[in-house]
Amino acid sequence: MDALAFDGERPDAAALSGRWREILRVAREVIALLPADQAGTCVMSGEGLFRGDVEELRTTLAEGTIWFRQGSIRGVFPRIVS
């Protein structure tokens, strides 16, 4: 990190590493909860794109209140319109 220029205070590498490891831990937990046959689909809820945490995901999966949507939710990739 010595070779990098920061706009402000230099971040603590140990803190960044810890945060990154926590993000990966949570991501692995989410992936383990989701059905493998729905890989690559959007996880949707009554409010649109599901944005809950692991516990909310666990609950909504058990309740059956989320669904999986194929395709684009508009805005992920640019579209060229002629």
pLDDT, mean of residues 9-30: 93
Q: Does the pLDDT at position 76 exceed 60?
A: no
CB atoms closer than 10 angstroms to residue 68: 15
Residue 5: what pLDDT? 85
Q: Are 77 and 68 in contact (CB under 8 A)?
A: no
49-75, pLDDT tens digit by residue?
Answer: 999 999 999 999 999 999 999 876 665
Residue 2: what pLDDT? 72
Q: Are 65 and 46 in contact (CB under 8 A)?
A: yes
Region of poorest pLDDT, from 1-15, 23-37, 48-62: 1-15
In whole angstroms, give the CA distance from residue 49 to residue 52. 9
Tell me, yes or no, if the pTM score tops 0.85: no
